[in-house]
Structure 1
Amino acid sequence: MSQSSQGAQPQNRAAQSIGFLLLDNFTLISLASAVEPLRMANQLSGKELYRWHTLTLDGQPVSASDGLQITPDASMHNAPALDAVIVCGGVDIQHSVKREHVSWLQLQARQGRQLGAVCTGSWALAKAGLLDGYDCSVHWECLASMQEAFPRAAITTRLFSIDRNRNTSSGGTAPMDMMLHLIGQQHGRELAAGISEMFIYERIRNEQDHQRVPLKHMLGSNQPKLQEIVALMEANLEEPIDLDELACFVDISRRQLERLFQKYLHCSPSRYYLKLRLIRARQLLKQTSMSIIEVASVCGFVSTPHFSKCYREYFGIPPRDERAGQQGHNLVVLLPIPEQQQVNSSAVLALSRAQGESTFASVRI
């Protein structure tokens, strides 16, 4: 996946050279999501803004998690001059990071290079002690294990994190958002927007966007009632359900309901429900042209002033400022609740109160 020459060299700035360190069983979609914006930046600008090189431990081919094999450009120790290194992780990351990886990454840090990671690659940086005191992102499957193994790293559920000279992202297409953000910083938002349009990428997500961490992953399989309650909440944002009704539908007491939320989600049921509604409101403000009054209504707020007050308290800015910050961004179509959510269908039907197609899945942080 070496870069070929694309366009003329800019007169006043050398191309940035980025090394992608491929670990065994790395995730191919995350690598492609990080590389392709660089290629398109060169193509649209007509200049060689970026060069990229694939690296492995010993220069030998490496297999991605889908079985496809990549022949790298060089080994780590024979890498060309680099400005930045991005570690590409994937499946079974704990066993993919070798002592030699750790030593080489520490050397790159001492030499002042920018360091980054995609998917589960943050594990390698953390193991090398290079994320201590830094905000960082990682695929949600690796979130809990990293928090336990590396308590000095500030691991978040954000799609990507940019903290000084550390750039880390979660998996899937999140690396594209991170790279578009960096390209926008370095070469202007117009170029980043042009790349997004070429890839039919409807919205460039930012550092405030979070991964949706499946509740089953957070709780395990031993809390089906709590999972069902949260699913009912998510399905009924426009007309929130009374907590006594929620408890009744899953056949527990109101007191048991409150204990479950405090024990496993570390907040009260009403607070969690409010958070779901506010996060949904933020999605609508950022991704649709609905008015603030309409957003307040479909998220279950009886008045716009009350909605604005709650929104400011939770996100630190009023809804109007959130909307202003999204001007010029493309809008996207919102997806309905996935069918795989395990909810008592009759309960949802009874409690939806004729919401029709206004019910959507929420993003959880």
Structure 2
Amino acid sequence: MALLGSVVSRLPDSVIKDIGFVLLPGFALMSFAAASEPFRAANVIAGQPLYRLRCFGESARTVAASQGASIAVEPLSATLEGPLDAVLVCAGGYPATWHRPAIHAMLRRLARKGVRLGGISGGAYLLAAAGLLQNRAFTVHWEHASALSEAFPELRPRQARFVIDRDRITCGGGIAPLDMAHALIRERMGATFARQVSDWLLHTEIGTPAAAQRGCLAERYQVHHPILLSVLETMEATVEAPLSRQAMARDVGLSMRQLDRLFAAHRHTTFAKDYLRIRLERAHLFLRQSALPIAEIAFATGFANQAHFARRFRAHFGMPPSQVRRVDLSLGEFS
């Protein structure tokens, strides 16, 4: 099925590129498939091997994905055997389980050898832990962004689908790796060939690197009033130090009564209740995605003390903060 044989035939046999995937238990199968299948498709379309894919794990012969499927892997030590052009870490789930010194050491060795390194979904967190994202633009799945920034305050992930910055390749996960793989194939094989690969996968809408990972604010809140959207955006950005109703109204040029009317008409709630919900949902995310003590999470979401936070949290979610963390760990929940 060499659709572009005239193009590919000009490549020497030695041009096969080896791409490695380091899989952590609970990695998202969708993200892995979206990242790997375009390279397999490229081989099929070219009618010759352009890419060779290899999978690595810490110890076991297989690694289980989030929904239970197992992928056969080579040991990490095999990364030192033979050339690897790029190695991408696939991680999902709970950052507290990502303390993987063996993987960190392996990534640093590969970096010294000049191997291109990347992370998919939560994979950038491991690159950060290995000290390999300094002075690099990068992204991570939006669910893990807060946890990464708390753990590595000197780093700031971009809210992008994928980022390619020289020898670092990072991607938010989900189906975004399709866009990332298209960019990498285009980088090497040209736009025409990359388009053929994407068409073969029915990947007709190719996202740009800077495209959003999540639905826009208007879609998420089902709100289209520009001033109210501005208020909601400010609420999301100020969970640690919430603004007063008076200060928020002044910032958007409204009276407090006008602000109240906006929330009543478009959100069917009050300013205070919506702000509290946003802060509590951010706290819930911190509980699942960071190892911060509960007291620090309370302060990070604008509560004066842990007891007040716990009362509000239980009233909203029906369980105390400590139970959310226990349930999350026991379920092995992966994203």
Task: Bin the TM-score by the shorter chain.
Answer: 0.5 to 0.7
1:125 aligns with 2:116: no
Q: Hey, what's the Cα distance between the residues in 2 that align with 1:35 and 1:229?
A: 30
1:248 aligns with 2:261: yes
Q: Hey, what's the Cα distance between the residues in 2 that align with 1:158 and 1:117?
A: 13
1:15 aligns with 2:40: no
Q: Hey, what's the Cα distance between the residues in 1 that align with 2:88 and 2:10?
A: 23
Q: Hey, what's the Cα distance between the residues in 2 that align with 1:54 and 1:64?
A: 13
Q: Hey, what's the Cα distance between the residues in 2 that align with 1:103 and 1:77?
A: 11
Displacement, 1:59?
4.4
Partner in structure 1 of residue 107 of structure 2: 105
Paired AA for residue 17 in structure 2: Q
Displacement, 1:214?
8.1
Q: 2:118·2:168 contact (CA, 8 Å) conserved in 1?
A: yes
1:70 aligns with 2:83: no
Greater RCO structure (CA 8 Å; 6+ sep): 2
1:105-124 Cα offsets, whole Å, 9 max, x none, are 11111111000111111111
Q: Structure 2 vs 1, CA of residues 44 and 245 (structure 1 numbering), >3 Å: closer, same or farther? A: farther
Match of 1:181 among 167, 180, 183: 183
Q: Hey, what's the Cα distance between the residues in 1 that align with 2:196 and 2:131?
A: 37
Q: Hey, what's the Cα distance between the residues in 2 that align with 1:55 and 1:234?
A: 49
Q: Structure 2 vs 1, CA of residues 234 and 121 (structure 1 numbering), >3 Å: closer, same or farther? A: farther
Partner in structure 2 of residue 135 of structure 1: 137
Which stretch shows the higher mean deviation, 105-114 or 199-208?
199-208
Which stretch shows the higher mean deviation, 120-129 or 76-85?
76-85
Give me the identity figure in percent. Answer: 33
Q: Hey, what's the Cα distance between the residues in 2 that align with 1:168 and 1:111?
A: 19
Displacement, 1:12?
6.0
Partner in structure 1 of residue 58 of structure 2: 57
Q: 1:8·1:46 contact (CA, 8 Å) conserved in 2?
A: no
Q: 1:17·1:84 contact (CA, 8 Å) conserved in 2?
A: yes
1:65-95 Cα offsets, whole Å, 9 max, x none, are 11112221x1010234211110011112331
When normalised by structure 1's length, the TM-score is: 0.58
Q: Structure 2 vs 1, CA of residues 213 and 139 (structure 1 numbering), >3 Å: closer, same or farther? A: farther
1:315-350 Cα offsets, whole Å, 9 max, x none, are xxxxxxxxxxxxxxxxxxxxxxxxxxxxxxxxxxxx
Partner in structure 2 of residue 232 of structure 1: 223
Which stretch shows the higher mean deviation, 51-60 or 92-101?
92-101
Partner in structure 2 of residue 161 of structure 1: 163
Partner in structure 2 of residue 46 of structure 1: 47
Q: 1:42·1:49 contact (CA, 8 Å) conserved in 2?
A: yes
- Unpaired runs of 5+ residues, structure 2, are 1-7, 229-252, 280-335
Partner SS for 1:67: coil
- Unpaired runs of 5+ residues, structure 1, are 1-6, 216-226, 266-365
RMSD value over aligned CA atoms? 3.3
1:38-82 Cα offsets, whole Å, 9 max, x none, are 01111112231111101001242111111112221x101023421
Q: 1:229·1:246 contact (CA, 8 Å) conserved in 2?
A: no
Q: Hey, what's the Cα distance between the residues in 2 that align with 1:234 and 1:63?
A: 45
Give the count of matched residue pairs.
237
Q: Structure 2 vs 1, CA of residues 230 and 118 (structure 1 numbering), >3 Å: closer, same or farther? A: same
Displacement, 1:213?
6.4
Q: Hey, what's the Cα distance between the residues in 2 that align with 1:9 and 1:190?
A: 15
When normalised by structure 2's length, the TM-score is: 0.63
Paired AA for residue 23 in structure 1: L
Could you say which structure has the higher helix fraction? Answer: 2
Displacement, 1:171?
1.3
After TM superposition, list the pairs within 5 Å mapping 1:196-345 onto structure 2: 196-212=198-214, 231-233=222-224, 247-251=260-264
Q: Hey, what's the Cα distance between the residues in 2 that align with 1:133 and 1:200?
A: 36
Q: Structure 2 vs 1, CA of residues 20 and 228 (structure 1 numbering), >3 Å: closer, same or farther? A: closer
